[in-house]
Amino acid sequence: MDISSYLAPESCTTELAGRKKDEVIRSLAELIALSPAVGDVNPEDIYRGLMDREAMGSTGFGRGIAIPHCKVEGMRDFALALGISTRGVDFDAMDGRSVHVFCAIVGPPEQPEMHLRLLAAASRVLGTGKSRYEILSSSTAYALREAFLYHSAPATALDSCKDRTFNRLMIVVVQEEEIYNDIIELFLEMGLPGAITHEGSLMGQILSSAPVFAGFMDVLGSSQPEPRTIMALVPADTLDDMISSIEQITGDLDNHRGACIIVLSPDIVRGSLETL
């Protein structure tokens, strides 16, 4: 997936019009309508689709970002629009803050998997402070698009893995929920088939229920993290890029507690955990 093919230059602006939610949605619909992927779809249909989705719950995810999205009959392909509101807009965001960065996603109803992957990609790009700063600092529509695409590149570069041999088992264990969610979005964006997750418990939590070990809990620690494990089969020649992308989320794993990556070489792999 090359996300640049879905984000037309003419669908980006650093001067997004509108001071109210419906006005901004209309401006985003008009930007989407400039994409060749729209075909004969009317901008009003895009506007209504985005508004209907907002009626289900705000797509303002906090930290000053919103990702309005919907499915519209007749779309040839997916189209993105990227806009900056310097004043900020009350968008009923989860954290109550005004929204300044908007990324709209509209596509055909018959491609739900791609819809999810684009949502994950946009969420991951806009979820880091560095990328938001560079995006908000963009002085032109061209610079805005380039900043967005630059931060999406590390993940989208691995998308061709469906046609490659899966011969390494990657196991990622994390304790922090926010990091876990970001890595899940990364795996989704990469289109890795058969990635599975598991929630577990640390040894200290298990021992705390045994009276004989109760006196050692001060040594083991009193926090109650919930470690989560993500497992997926990945191509061996993408491992370095995969680890690099994960470390963009976690930080340098050699100096980060609470997260680790384990890579194994399975002797036999038969079958698939791709969605039925």
Just list the catalytic residues: 69
**Percent of residues in the chain assigned helix, strand, coil, to nearest 5:** 45, 20, 35
Would you state the torsion angle of the CA atoms of residues 266, 176, 187, 206, taken in this order, to the nearest 10 degrees? Answer: 40
CA gyration radius, the chain? 21
Rounded Cα gap, residues 106 and 164, in angstroms: 29
Return the exposure string of 60-70: e unless at least 16 CB atoms fall within 10 Å of the residue's CB, then b: bbebbbbbbbb
Paired strand residues for 228: 174, 199
Rounded Cα gap, residues 111 and 92, in angstroms: 28
Judge whether 75 and 97 are in contact, CB under 8 Å: no
Judge whether 78 and 106 are in contact, CB under 8 Å: yes
**Beta-carbon count within 10 A of 207 CB:** 14
Rounded Cα gap, residues 199 and 227, in angstroms: 6
Residue closest to 26 by CA, chosen among 89, 96, 74: 89
Positive or negative CA dihedral for 184, 187, 189, 193?
negative
Judge whether 3 and 158 are in contact, CB under 8 Å: no
